[in-house]
Chain A
């Protein structure tokens, strides 16, 4: 019987977690997309060799503690204000790589003004936007992105668009602004989509290195806890309901 330790050798390694990810246990629910996106950002940072020059701006939302998981310098913003922080960090240290990481409540409700104006100024930053159609952290309330008819704790009978309006497609709005150079919508629920999201993130950081303006990577993601579904069911539900309203793919891609 061969001892496991005789197999664990550098020459036998086929996959290794990037060192940009920390050893801390993730605070996310099992099955949640947040953790996958964290890993992709960490991999892109490692592959681009920008760990020592990258500053992340964490939001208020389930990812408020994102700074515990990536081994880079971080600032934690007030709810919705990450784009304002990112603006100043980048303007004062243009040689650094700056990204904000925000949920849909953070980016498209309380922080709408900061989001739109950072994009409109064409701040040379990356904005990573996790759209799970709900307020995950506070226990599943209606978000600006909650689908018509979709139940949440503050619309238990389903979102009534005559009462609350239609869900906001913020990425499409931001793509209208001349300041954005790249606006894309991705997902991380299958291996293929994970690969595509990683490519999109890489492109966004490369745009920043090339001084192209604001890049926004939206990831339509599940909130299995908030949606009150199993992880597998939530991914199926996402495909059937979220993707038709929030179609995946590039919304704007200026070469």
Chain B
């Protein structure tokens, strides 16, 4: 039986983690996501499912605890907000380099620096272009509702283990803090030690006499070996790009213009397209759900039909670069967005659309 609850996005992450049978959460407080750990601590899942919840001394420690737990084949996660996620970049590249599955939630706030506790989407580059050193990718899901905050926890773990790769849920302060109705899934059991040993034969569960020792590492001192390993990683990323693109289209079929937006900005733009259509402008919305892999081909298809695209993000213009690349600059692509903690209104988006694209079209 699925249960209906009214809750914040951050609380939904915590609830969903317990119900998905997650083994461990390691975190460090930071606004606007502290409710994740607060909710977990209040619910005491160690008494019900045996889930470990631990407050670490820093995000450096929490992401490395995640590394340790992931290396054991356990389903482990952490959450933070922008400054904390900056501190996790070292851990993330090690996780990617050691091919470890885990889930990291970033409830993004405005930057740079300590910035503001208000919502933003300015960590797009950090998330999908690297952040840490080396050629690696984070599978990135962008929830646009409290329901998706809950649903993406389990989906993220499925993807993380399917590809042995870290998965980022790139949320923001709006989705983290707002309250909505959520349908929660039923409680699932945690994986047993036997299940892990059988299915994750790479995990450090203790060397049995009948197998070679397992080593979790990202060191390959020999350049040729490191290059071969990088090729293997790249092949994995190509397979992620082929199989895991997720997106949503709203009123795109008859559209002359398309707004590209993700997360809370997509929620705002939902209203913007209604306002624009009342004015007689045929606008649709394209919402990437996976930011990596980016829905490149699907956007290119739409580029053949529309006169222009507006990337609407709470940043100074980050995803817009990927939209331009996707459509190979075959049509005008503009950016609009408030940033640094400010949130655009649906009306502001329509104005920007008229000024930047339709105005130029006349």
CA of A177 to CA of B67, assembled, Å: 26
Q: Looking at the assembled complex, report how far the CB atom of B266 sits from the nearest CB atom of chain A, in whole angstroms.
A: 35
CA of A145 to CA of B318, assembled, Å: 45
Q: CB of A77 within 8 A of chain B?
A: yes
Q: Check if A73 sits within 8 Å of B215, measured CB to CB.
A: yes
Q: Check if B217 sits within 8 Å of A67, measured CB to CB.
A: yes
Chain A 228-240: CB-based contact to B (< 8 A → 1; otherwise 0): 0000000000000
Q: CB of A46 within 8 A of chain B?
A: no
Q: A75-B216, A76-B216, A113-B57 are in contact. Are A88 and B206 (CB under 8 A)?
A: no
What is the chain B residue whose CB lies nearest that of A70? B213
Q: CB of B74 within 8 A of chain A?
A: yes
What is the chain B residue whose CB lies nearest that of A78? B94
CA of A72 to CA of B219, assembled, Å: 18
Partner of B76, one of A74, A77, A88, A113: A88
Q: Which A residues, 56 to 86, have Cβ-Cβ distances below 8 Å to chain B?
A: 57-58, 64-65, 67, 71-78, 81, 84-86
Q: Which residues of A contact B64 (CB under 8 A)?
A: 77-78, 81, 84-85, 88, 114
CA of A75 to CA of B218, assembled, Å: 10
Q: Looking at the assembled complex, report how far the CB atom of A227 sits from the nearest CB atom of chain B, in whole angstroms.
A: 24
Partner of A113, one of B26, B58, B66, B98: B58
Q: Which residues of A contact B52 (CB under 8 A)?
A: 88, 91-92
Total interface residues in chain B, CB < 8 Å: 39
Q: CB of B23 within 8 A of chain A?
A: yes
Q: Check if B76 sits within 8 Å of A92, measured CB to CB.
A: yes
Q: CB of A131 within 8 A of chain B?
A: no
Q: CB of A32 within 8 A of chain B?
A: no
What is the chain A residue whose CB lies nearest that of B50? A92
Total interface residues in chain A, CB < 8 Å: 32
Partner of B65, one of A52, A53, A84: A84
CA of A52 to CA of B216, assembled, Å: 16
Q: Check if B68 sits within 8 Å of A74, measured CB to CB.
A: no
Q: Which residues of A contact B206 (CB under 8 A)?
A: 52-55, 72-73, 96
What is the chain B residue whose CB lies nearest that of A121? B54
Q: Check if B90 sits within 8 Å of A78, measured CB to CB.
A: yes
Q: Which residues of B contact A96 (CB under 8 A)?
A: 205-206
Q: Looking at the assembled complex, report how far the CB atom of B25 sits from the nearest CB atom of chain A, in whole angstroms.
A: 11
Q: A57-B68, A76-B216 are in contact. Are A92 and B57 (CB under 8 A)?
A: no
Q: Check if B57 sits within 8 Å of A114, measured CB to CB.
A: yes
CA of A67 to CA of B54, assembled, Å: 28
Q: A73-B205, A73-B214 are in contact. Are A92 and B61 (CB under 8 A)?
A: no
Q: Which residues of A contact B57 (CB under 8 A)?
A: 113-114, 117
Q: Looking at the assembled complex, report how far the CB atom of B57 sits from the nearest CB atom of chain A, in whole angstroms.
A: 4
Q: A78-B91, A113-B58 are in contact. Are A92 and B217 (CB under 8 A)?
A: no
CA of A163 to CA of B205, assembled, Å: 46
Q: Which residues of B contact A76 (CB under 8 A)?
A: 98, 215-219
25 contacts across the A-B interface (CB closer than 8 A): A52-B206, A57-B68, A67-B217, A73-B214, A74-B214, A75-B217, A76-B98, A76-B219, A78-B94, A81-B60, A81-B64, A81-B67, A84-B56, A85-B64, A85-B71, A88-B54, A88-B69, A88-B72, A88-B76, A92-B24, A92-B76, A93-B193, A113-B58, A114-B57, A114-B61
Instruction: List residues of chain B with CB under 8 Å of any chain A CB.
Output: 23-24, 26, 52, 54, 56-58, 60-62, 64-69, 71-72, 74, 76, 90-91, 94, 98, 193, 204-209, 213-219
Given contacts A53-B206, A55-B206, 6 further A-B contacts (CB under 8 A): A54-B206, A64-B219, A76-B98, A78-B91, A93-B193, A117-B57
